Amino acid sequence: MTPATLQSHLPKTSDEIRFILDDKVHTVRGGDPTTTLLNYLRYDLERTGSKEGCAEGDCGACTVVVGTLKGDRVEYRAVNACIIFLPTLDGKELLTVESLKARGGSLHPVQAALVETHGSQCGFCTPGFVMSLYALYLKGKVPSKSEIEDALAGNLCRCTGYGPIIEAANLMFELGASELPEMGKKVSALKAIARTDTLAITGKSILTGGEKRYFAPVSVDALAALAEENPIATFLAGGTDVGLWVTKMHKELSTVIYVGDVAELLEITETKDAIEIGASVSYTDAMGLLGKYYPDMGEIVRRLGSVQIRNSGTLGGNIANGSPIGDGPPLLIAAGAKLVLRKGGDERTILLEDYFIAYGQQDLAPGEFVSRIIVPKPHQHLTFAAYKLSKRFDQDISAVCAGFGVTVEAGKVTAAKLAFGGMAATPKRAANAEAALVGNSWDKATIQNAMAVMKDDFTPLDDMRASAKYRSISAANLLMKMYLESTGDTATRVVGEKEAAHA
């Protein structure tokens, strides 16, 4: 865009945050725009039910429920209040543990169930458990065992044990029919505060007093104009990474551009040959369609963080930050995904693997941003598999994450993409191992040759998650595992109860 064109796309702005709290419009003006929702609840509103346990979205003690307008309905999801910034609540509904007070003063069925089953001892974590179960309760149907376990995987209990809490999840519907919100009223209330312009806030840092600016555009053209005008701004999506820059590293983010309200970046489009996923689409919204065509990919995404993290975090953010241990990129690279980048009025499309240049360096110009991810649908000759090795099954960072896309025609390998996370400074393909596969028979001897040369593809680090030796051996063994599973030579896949339930 030329400067004149850019100015024409710079949007009209509003400077106040509005959201629904306890059925009333709550308005906030001024302040530090990188204040976390949790700090605002505890220090400004004195709603101390929500606790701070970790300040990084791991323990779930700060869990609240957020309602977002989706057409003519409101979608309620549990999120971590400790890592999302207050302005991201604009146009939404917020429910905290204090919001569950019944009009008659009695406990909500979720709370009553926890009392009945003795699901609390010290009680510090209990409000977070209440809100995670409340989000499950709002789905309006009795949950399955796997749904309960998924809902609670992001809440840490150190003293009660999960048995009584799971019992409470099974009991909550017996203590009262699901008291679902009056959807018509909720929709009307949220439509009344919906923005058609950009939220633009100027405030002062609570640490230094320095000026901070926050923008939340609602269209991709407005985003492009703001990005060009603020080329060194921090782009914010779900906050599952950027939020920690503030809570753990105490970074001062002088200019933030929030992409979570940009309509075009929230779209998922399915074409004949591909799935196009907007950069602001959450893991929760992306995993269903990805899992339909790539079951292993859907399962890895399900293990990526907790329900709260997947409700906030985005696939686009996972890519944009360029982390060498992000779980999304290896899987998408193996599937042949492309990335659409936008700067001003221009777009360019690159292979996802080409986006990662070096540690902390991506192919992204100042003022350019990730717009969407294009994932080709698998063809009939493609064998795809994905694996994640971590110390915990749920909600853990990978030691090794692998995505394998191998094309086999008439018994021979005609193409191969073997992509890994945690093995190098960027997500990286195993070029030597791929060369050992292509053109050869799809058999054990070929796999063993590829395993042997894979040691030359990577020089992994020793760290707290795994040793370099463990990573090298495991990466090679995962290729053999993929071969054995795909050919049915032996039943090697270890499928846990959760994994089987989501297969």
The CATH code of the domain that includes 47 is 3.10.20.30
Which neighbouring-strand residues pair with 185? Answer: none
- Tokens read off for 91: 């146009």
Pair (192, 255) in one structural domain: yes
Pair (153, 218) in one structural domain: no
- Distance separating alpha carbons of residues 5 and 415, to the nearest angstrom: 45
Instruction: Look at residue 104 and tell me if it is in a domain.
Output: no
Pair (382, 446) in one structural domain: yes
Residue type, 157: C
* Side-by-side strand order, sheet with 16-21: 24-29, 16-21, 93-95, 63-70, 73-80
Pair (256, 285) in one structural domain: no
Instruction: Give phi and psi for 161, each to the nearest 5.
Output: 90, 150
- Distance separating alpha carbons of residues 434 and 420, to the nearest angstrom: 12
- Residue 53: how many CB atoms within 10 A of its CB? 17
Task: Give the total number of structural domains in the chain.
Answer: 3
Which neighbouring-strand residues pair with 79? Answer: 64
Closest CA to 126 of 77, 160, 83: 160
Pair (87, 140) in one structural domain: no
- Of 127, 144, 171, which residue sits at a domain end? 171
Instruction: Look at residue 259 and tell me if it is in a domain.
Output: yes
Pair (194, 341) in one structural domain: no
- Distance separating alpha carbons of residues 201 and 404, to the nearest angstrom: 45
pLDDT in tens, the chain (503 residues): 544 444 445 555 678 999 999 999 999 998 999 999 999 999 999 999 999 999 999 999 999 999 999 999 999 999 999 999 999 999 999 999 999 986 567 899 999 999 999 999 999 999 999 999 999 999 988 999 999 999 999 999 988 889 999 999 999 998 876 566 788 899 999 999 999 999 999 999 988 999 999 999 999 999 999 999 999 999 999 999 999 999 999 999 999 999 999 999 999 999 999 999 999 999 999 999 999 999 999 999 989 889 999 999 999 999 998 888 889 999 999 999 999 999 999 999 999 999 999 998 999 999 999 999 999 999 999 999 999 999 988 888 899 999 999 999 999 999 999 999 999 999 999 999 999 999 999 999 999 999 999 999 999 989 889 999 999 999 999 999 999 999 986 554 544 444 444 43
Pair (164, 215) in one structural domain: no
Burial of 500 (0-12, 13-18, 19+ CB in 10 A): exposed
**Distances, alpha carbon 144 to alpha carbons 129, 151, 153, in Å:** 17, 11, 14
Query: For the stretch 385-417, what's the b/e string if a residue is b when 16 or more beta carbons lie within 10 angstroms of its beta carbon?
Result: bbbbbbeeebbbbbbbbbbbbbbbeeeebeebb
Q: What angle do CA 286, 366, 280 make, to 5 degrees?
A: 15
Instruction: Give phi and psi for 199, each to the nearest 5.
Output: -80, 120
Determine contact, residues 243/221, Cβ cutoff 8 Å.
no
Predicted confidence at residue 494, as pLDDT, reads 46
Q: What is the CATH number of the domain that holds 140?
A: 1.10.150.120
Predicted confidence at residue 305, as pLDDT, reads 87
Instruction: Look at residue 144 and tell me if it is in a domain.
Output: yes
Listed in sequence order, the residues at least 6 apart from 148 whose beta carbon sits closer than 8 Å to its beta carbon are 136, 166, 169, 170
Pair (291, 399) in one structural domain: yes
Pair (273, 257) in one structural domain: no
- Of 219, 234, 263, which residue sits at a domain end? 263
Predicted confidence at residue 445, as pLDDT, reads 97
Residue type, 486: S
- Of 171, 197, 217, which residue sits at a domain end? 171
- Tokens read off for 238: 């779900």
Pair (195, 285) in one structural domain: no
Pair (370, 482) in one structural domain: yes
Instruction: Give phi and psi for 320, each to the nearest 5.
Output: -60, -35
Instruction: Look at residue 150 and tell me if it is in a domain.
Output: yes
Pair (242, 386) in one structural domain: no
Q: What angle do CA 61, 465, 324 make, to 5 degrees?
A: 90
Which neighbouring-strand residues pair with 277? Answer: 268, 373
Residue 100: DSSP 8-state: G
Render 54-74 in DSSP notation, one character per residue.
Answer: SSSSSS-TTEEEEEEEETTEE
- Distance separating alpha carbons of residues 78 and 137, to the nearest angstrom: 11
Determine contact, residues 82/40, Cβ cutoff 8 Å.
no
**Distances, alpha carbon 333 to alpha carbons 379, 402, 416, in Å:** 15, 10, 11
Q: Supply the range of the domain harboring residue 20.
A: 3-98+184-263
Query: For the stretch 280-302, what's the b/e string if a residue is b when 16 or more beta carbons lie within 10 angstroms of its beta carbon?
Result: bbbbbbbbebbbebbebbbbbbb
- Distance separating alpha carbons of residues 202 and 271, to the nearest angstrom: 41
Determine contact, residues 303/394, Cβ cutoff 8 Å.
yes
Q: What is the CATH number of the domain that holds 342?
A: 3.30.390.50
